[in-house]
Amino acid sequence: MSFRTKLLLLLLIIALVPLGLSFIAQRNLVTYYGNKLAQDTHTLINDNAVNLLHMLVDDYGRILRRDHAMARFALQAQAQAVEQALSTENATSHREIYLATDFDDPQRQPTDMVLSLGHMRLAPDGTLNPMSISWNHQVFFLAEQTQFDNVSDQIQRLSHMTDIYKSLHRIEPGLFLWQYTALETGIHSSFPGKGGYPADYDPRKRQWYTSAVRDNQTTQQILTDVTTGSLILTLSQPVHSPDGELYGVTALDIDYLQLFSDWNIPTEWADVTKSMVVSFTGKPDSRSQLEILLKNQPDATSQHWSLPVEREFIDLGDPQLYLVAADIMSGRSAVRKINYYGEELLWAYGSRQADAPFPLVMVPYERVIAPAARAQESVNRQITLGLSASAILTLVAVLVAVLVALRQARKVTDPITQLTAAAQQLTQGKFDARVDIRTGDELQHLGNIFNDLGCRLEEREKLKQSLALAKEIQQQLLPQENPQCDNFELIGISRYCDETGGDYYDFIPLGSSNNSPLGLVVGDVSGHGIGAALVMATARGMLRALIDQYAGDPSRLIAEINYDLCYSIDDSGFMTLFFGTLNPEQRTLDWVSAGQAPVFLYRSKESGGHIEELGSSGIPMGILAESEYEMEPVVHFNPGDILLIGTDGIWETHNFAGDMFGTKRLCDVLYRSAHLSAEEIAANIFAELDLFRGDRTYDDDLTLMLIKATTEQSESF
C-alpha cells in the first residue's frame, strides 16, 4: 500500500480536523470583519467629524469676518456722524435730554422704558435680570467735576445721534449691545438709554478710551461691561475736529456670546467643546502666540468693571502644535488631532487673514469617536458569544482527532526519524550513513534514494577538494608579487569567475638586476573553467621553455608557441597573448600581440594628456599553425605614461540591465586616475567594475596589467 493511500486513510480517520480548521477560519474571518467593521465605523465617524469641523470653522470664519467688517463699518459711520454733529456751527432743533440720574428715577425716566432680555444686569446674588432700557433716547452721564451748563451745547449736539444709533443698530439688531460716545469734557452718551452708572465712573479712564487715544486708531479689547457685569467685545475709535483736535472717542459693544450664536456645534459635543475667537500675535523674530479674544462661556464675568480682563494666550512654540503653527502662519484652515496637555483633541481652525481674528474649536477626540467605541464593543460582545459556542464543539472534535492521530502517528514517524538521524550523520561528514526502511511504500523508496545519496555526496566533496587544489596550483603559476623595476611601477591582477580560469599574466625577468629587461605577458584562453586552465598552464609552460631561446625575437617566440598550441588543443579553442620586452634603462617596450587587443596607452599631460588604443599583430594562437606575427612599433615612455593591458572580461562586464562596461568607461577611469600609483589605478578600475555590475556575478575571467613610467628619463628620444 502506498504512502499516499495511507495518508488518505489517516485524513479520513481524523475527518474532524477540518472542523477545527473551519473554526479557526471562521473565528479569524468573523474577528477580521468585526474589527474591519469597527475600524471602518471609526474611520467614517472620524472623517465625518473632520469634514464637519472643517465646514463649521470655514463657515464660522466667514461669519466672523462678516460681523467684524459690519462692526467696523458701523463704528466708522458712527464716528463720522459724531464728528459732523460736534463740528456743525449751529446745533439743530433741541431734543429732550435724559441724564443717568433721570433713568435711575422712575418719575423722570423716559416713558418708553421696557425690559430687554438682550440686556441683563448682574444682581448682587449673582443672578442675571433683564434691564429696563429706552430704544428712543440716549442716556447722558457726566463725569465728576463736569458741570451740565458747561457742556450743554455738546450734549444737545450729541442728542441728535439717537437716530444714527438706531439706524446702525437695525443693520444687525442682535449684534450691538451698546453704542456710545465719550468726550474729553467728561460727557458720556450711550444708546439704548439705561441707568445704573457707578458714581465714580469716568469714561476717560476706561481702557477702550485710553487705547483709542493712545493708538489714534480703531482698537478692540475684551472688557467688563459697567452695567451688566458681563464680558463684552469693545471696538473704539477716536473722533476729531476738522482741525485735528481730539473730541473724544466713540465706541460700540458687542455681546460676548452673540458672536457664537451662529456656531452650531453638534449637541453630542456641545458640553465639552471649547469654541473661541483668536488672533495671531506672532512675529518673524519672536515667539508665535494665539491670543484668545473670545471664549464661548455663558458665565464669563470679571471681578469688577474697573479691573482689566486678563489676556489669555496659546503658545504655538509647543512641539505638539508645530503643524498647527505652520498652518496658521501659512493662512490655511485645517483640522488636526493634537495631544494637548495630556488630552487628545481635535483642533479645528479657520484661515488667518493678516491680523484679523479667526475661529478655533477644540473637541475631545474621545467624545468624537465615542459612537465608534460603542459599536466596536457591541460587535466584540456578539463575536465572543458566537465563538464561545463554536469553540466548545470544535474542542470536542479536536480531542477525538488527537486520540486517533496519536495512535496512527507512530506508523508514519518511525521512518522519518530514521531519515532525520541519518541526515544528521551526513552533515557531520559520515557518508556511509544508511537507513533501513521496510514500509513497502514511498517512504521505503525515499530511504533507498537516501542510501545512494551518501556515495554521491562523497564524490562531490572529492571533486570540490580537487577543484580547490587546482585553484591553488593555478594561483601559484601566477606571479606571487609585483616586480621592482627602475623607472616603472608594475602591477598585475587576475580574478576568475570560477574556481579556475583561462586568463594568464606573468612578469619574466630577463636579467638579474632592476635595470634588466623584463618580459611582460597577458593571455586569455577562450572559455573558462578547468579546460581553459589546462590550456593556460600549457601555454605558460611553452613560454617559459622558449623564452631564453627567443627573448630577443618576440615575434618568433609567439609564432613557435602558436605552432605548438595548434597541435595541442582542439579546433574549438584558441588563446590571445600579449608579449612585450620592457627595457627600464631605455624606457622602451618592444611588443607583439596575438589577438590580445586593444591595448591602452595613456600619454601624460606633458605629452598631450590623451589615450591611444594599440592594435593586434595577428590572429589569436591555436587557429592557424603557420600564422606569422609582426613586431609592433616600439613604445617610448615619458614620465607619467601608462600602458594598460587587459583581457576582454573587463570591458565586456555586464550589469543587470544588460549594459556592457565598455572601453570608454575603462579609459575614463584610467584618465581620471592617471596621477595615482599603478596599484591605486588598478584598485579604482576594479572598484568601478564592482559598482557597475552590482550584485551580478562575473561572466568571464578578468586580468589587468599596468605599467606606469615614474621618473625622468636620462636621455631624450
Determine the pLDDT at residue 173.
80
CA pair distance 472, 468, nearest whole angstrom:
6
**Residue 661's pLDDT band (boundaries 50, 70, 90)?**
very high
pLDDT digits (tens, 9 = 90+) for 664-707: 999 999 999 999 999 999 999 999 999 999 989 888 889 999 99
pLDDT in tens, 170-180: 887 878 889 99
- In the block, cell 465714580 appears at 200
Q: Supply the pLDDT for residue 451.
A: 73
Q: Measure CA of the first residue to CA of the last residue in the chain; give whole Å.
A: 92
Indicate if the pLDDT at residue 302 is higher than 60: no
At residue 284, the pLDDT reads 47
Pair 661, 653: CB distance under 8 Å: yes
pLDDT at 282: 65
**Pure H helices in 369-490:** 370-427, 442-477
Asked if residue 715 has pLDDT above 50, the reply is: no
What is the spatial distance between Cα 156 and Cα 86, in angstroms, rounded to a whole number?
10
The pLDDT-based confidence of 121 (bands split at 50, 70, 90) is confident
Other beta carbons within 10 angstroms of residue 644's beta carbon come to 24
Please compute the mean of the pLDDT values over residues 485-510 and round it to a whole number: 88
* pLDDT for the residue 136: 93
Handedness of CA 368, 372, 374, 377 (dihedral sign): negative
* Inter-residue contact 659 to 652 (CB < 8 Å): no
Query: What span, in angstroms and rounded, lies between the C-alpha atoms of 688 and 663?
Result: 13
How far is the C-alpha of 579 from the C-alpha of 556, rounded, in Å? 11
pLDDT at residue 32 is higher than 70: yes
Mean pLDDT of 257-285: 75
| The predicted structure's pLDDT at residue 308 | 66
Q: For residue 400, is pLDDT > 80?
A: no
* Separation of alpha carbons 512 and 516, rounded Å: 6
DSSP 321: G
Separation of alpha carbons 345 and 334, rounded Å: 13
Confidence (pTM): 0.47
Q: Which one has a higher pLDDT value, 52 or 124?
A: 52
Provide mean pLDDT across the span 405-426.
Answer: 70
What mean pLDDT comes out for the span 296-317? 67
Q: How confident is residue 392, by pLDDT bands cut at 50, 70 and 90?
A: confident
Q: What is the DSSP letter of 619?
A: P
Coil, strand or helix at 432: coil
pLDDT at 492 over 90: yes
pLDDT band at 356 (very low <50, low <70, confident <90, very high): confident
Burial of 12 (0-12, 13-18, 19+ CB in 10 A): exposed
Q: Which amino acid is at 483?
A: P
pLDDT of residue 309: 67
Residue 154, classed as helix, strand or coil, is: helix
Average pLDDT over all residues of the chain: 83
